[in-house]
Amino acid sequence: MKNKKTHGGLGQLTIPIIALALLVLFNVVRDLIFIYYFKDPNYVSFFSIEFTRNNLDNTVLAGNLISIINGASELAILAMGMTLVTAACGGQDISVGAAAAIAGSVFVKVLKSSSSINGGTVAIAFVSACIVAMLFGSFNGTLVAVFKIQPMIATLILYTCGRSIAYWINGGATPTVNSPIITAIGSFIPGIPIPTPVLIVIAVSLLFKLIFKFTSLELFTQSVGINGSAARLNGINSTFIKLLSFIILGVCVAFSGTIGVSRLGLINHETLLLDIEMDTILAVAIGGNSLGGGKFKIGGSIIGAYVIQMLTITLYAMKVSSTDVKAYKAIVIVLLVVLGSPVVKAKFEKVLSYLGLNRQSISTKGAQ
């Protein structure tokens, strides 16, 4: 009994993992149909991964799976921060896309105004982007934590004007920055076959892991999100916790904006990470986190981000028109969210327990 976790039959990560598994299964079936039924000799498996040499003569990994984990990087990073905001405030920040456009613009602005692009200036540019994103984060956070405005309403302000602000920073055209360092950030570092954005996602998730290990952020955030009144009476400064969640999200925004800009060495304030806020919120939801705040699992949100990206890439691989992709996505997401709803979960657990699959032994009372 000692170390056994005795939560219900279904953990929080069940739904995102099932979703991922279903997508994999779907593609396996599709592969088999093409290979054995149509006997298409030119067909390349959805899962094939191969080494290629890119135009800068580096050996790099390529394939759909790489495209998925690479393409989902900005989304995964934002989802981590969004999970924290959701847990603490019971609401979501819908301005992350606009804020990332600002952060990206600042990044480009600093690079353009420095005489040369080298490791130092890129670092300065990133730190500047970080500071600006954290400032906008604390603006949102103040509205939510101090003035008690609902998060969606509070962040609607930046959502509306954020891309205009991004425009003011650099002016109208789409400024470009060309440098091997920028390419290395957005694409591949010479000698490393894994896309750099993926490495950045790993770094950011390790950062979160460290924060959770060396601070009480997780416990305090959950307490504030579940029962703010009780948290206050236990001495937790909930204003600070909420504000902090927005500032941390600001750092995530800076990472995402920088990756987004570096991928192409170009900032388009109108399209950079457009509509990503909704995908981010979805990733959090698919990850099994309650959008009403409280308990959370960052890992769930990351898987959620990959689920969304895998869905998109699968549809692209099937040549579904990208205007239709959104409709298909909506269908799948409705299914996922319903599958993860407490009603379905309860029914499912009941079925499990009838089948005798429930992990707990039905025994006498616990700790007499």
Partner 1 sequence: MENCLLKMRHIEKRFPGVLALNNVDFTLRKGEIHALMGENGAGKSTLIKILTGVYQMDAGEITVEDTAVSIRSPQDAQNKGISTVYQEITLCPNLTVAENMFIGREGGNWVRHTEDEKRADEILKLLGIPARSTQQLGSCSLAVQQMVAIARAVDQNCKVLILDEPTSSLDDKEVKMLFDLMRDLKSKGVGIIFVTHFLEQVYEVSDRITVLRNGELVGEYLVEDLPQVELVSKMIGKELDELSTLKESDEEDISKKEVLYEAKSLSSSEAEPFDFTIHKGEVNGFTGLLGSGRSESVRAIFGADKVTGGNVTIKGKNAKITRPIDAMKHGIGYLSEDRKRDGIIAELSVRENIMLALQVMNGFFKPISRSESEAFADEYIKVLNIKTASRETPVGSLSGGNQQKVILARWLLTHPDYLILDEPTRGIDVGTKLEIQKLVLKLAEEGVSVTFISSEVEEMLRTCSRLIVMRDRHIVGELTGKDLNQAQVMKTIAGGEA
Partner 2 sequence: MKKFRALLLVVVLVISSVLCACGGKSGGNIKVGVVNNPPSESGYREANVKDMEKVFSAENGYDLKTFYSLKNDEQLQAAQGFITEGVDYLLISAAETTGWDDVLKKAKEAGIKVYLFDRMINVDESLYEAAVVSDMAKEGETAVKWLLDQNLPEYNVIHIQGAMGSDAQIGRTGALDEQFASGKMKKVVQQTATWDEAEAKKIVESVINSGEDFNVIYAENDGMAKGAVAALDEAGITHGVDGKVIVMGFDCNKWALRELLSGAWNYDGQCSPFQAQIISDLIKGNKTTSTKKIINEEKGFDATTLTQSDIDTYGLGD
- Interface with partner 2 by CB under 8 A: which residues? 42-44, 48, 52-56, 60, 62-64, 67, 71, 164, 167, 171-176, 186-188, 195, 260, 263-266, 268, 270-274, 312-313, 316-317, 319, 321-323
Q: State in angstroms the smallest separation of the CB of 361 from partner 2.
A: 48
Give 243 or 253: the residue with its C-beta nearer to partner 2: 253
Q: Which does 216 bind (CB under 5 to 8 A by kind): partner 2, partner 1, none?
A: partner 1
Q: Which does 213 bind (CB under 5 to 8 A by kind): partner 1, partner 2, none?
A: partner 1
What one-character-per-residue DSSP string does 181-241 give?
A: HHHHHHS--TT--S-HHHHHHHHHHHHHHHHHHHSSHHHHHHHHHH-HHHHHHTT--HHHH
CB 257 within 8 A of CB 272: yes
Give 53 or 213: the residue with its C-beta nearer to partner 1: 213
Give 56 or 346: the residue with its C-beta nearer to partner 2: 56
Q: Which does 150 bind (CB under 5 to 8 A by kind): partner 1, partner 2, none?
A: none
Q: If residue 59 lies in a helix (H) or strand (E), which one and from where to where?
A: strand 59-62
Q: State in angstroms the smallest separation of the CB of 289 from partner 1.
A: 12
Paired tokens of 272: 């950079």
Which amino acid, one-letter code, is at 317?
Answer: A
Q: State in angstroms the smallest separation of the CB of 323 from partner 1.
A: 39
Q: State in angstroms the smallest separation of the CB of 247 from partner 1.
A: 14
Q: State in angstroms the smallest separation of the CB of 203 from partner 1.
A: 22
Q: Which does 365 bind (CB under 5 to 8 A by kind): partner 2, partner 1, none?
A: partner 1
Q: Which does 173 bind (CB under 5 to 8 A by kind): partner 1, partner 2, none?
A: partner 2
Q: State in angstroms the smallest separation of the CB of 296 from partner 1.
A: 10
Give 197 or 228: the residue with its C-beta nearer to partner 2: 197
Q: Tell which phi-psi region holds residue 275, choosing left (phi > 0), alpha (psi between -120 and 50) or beta.
A: left
Q: 150-156: long-range contacts (C-beta < 8 A, 24 or more apart)?
A: 150/91, 151/85, 151/89, 151/90, 151/91, 151/92, 151/93, 152/91, 152/92, 152/94, 155/92, 155/93, 155/94, 155/95, 156/94, 156/95
Q: Which does 363 bind (CB under 5 to 8 A by kind): partner 2, partner 1, none?
A: partner 1
Interacting residues with partner 1 (CB under 8 A): 1, 4-9, 213-217, 219-220, 222-223, 226-227, 229-237, 294-295, 353, 358, 360-368
> Among 223, 41, 246, 45, which Cα is nearest to 136's?
246
Q: In angstroms, how far apart are the furthest CA atoms of the chain?
A: 74
Q: How far apart are CA 164 and CA 167, in angstroms?
A: 5
* Token pair 């549809």: residue: 315
Q: Which does 331 bind (CB under 5 to 8 A by kind): partner 1, partner 2, none?
A: none
Q: Which does 343 bind (CB under 5 to 8 A by kind): partner 2, partner 1, none?
A: none
Give 89 or 122: the residue with its C-beta nearer to partner 1: 89
Give 325 or 337: the residue with its C-beta nearer to partner 2: 325
Paired tokens of 236: 């937790």
CB 76 within 8 A of CB 255: no
Contacts with 122 (C-beta within 8 Å, 6 or more apart), sequence order = 111, 179, 181, 182, 185
Give 6 or 55: the residue with its C-beta nearer to partner 2: 55
Q: State in angstroms the smallest separation of the CB of 221 from partner 1.
A: 11
Under DSSP, the state recorded for 265 is T
Give 144 or 158: the residue with its C-beta nearer to partner 2: 158
Q: State in angstroms the smallest separation of the CB of 319 from partner 2.
A: 6
Q: State in angstroms the smallest separation of the CB of 299 from partner 2.
A: 24
CA atoms within 13 A on the CB side of 55: 3
Beta pairing partners, 59: 53
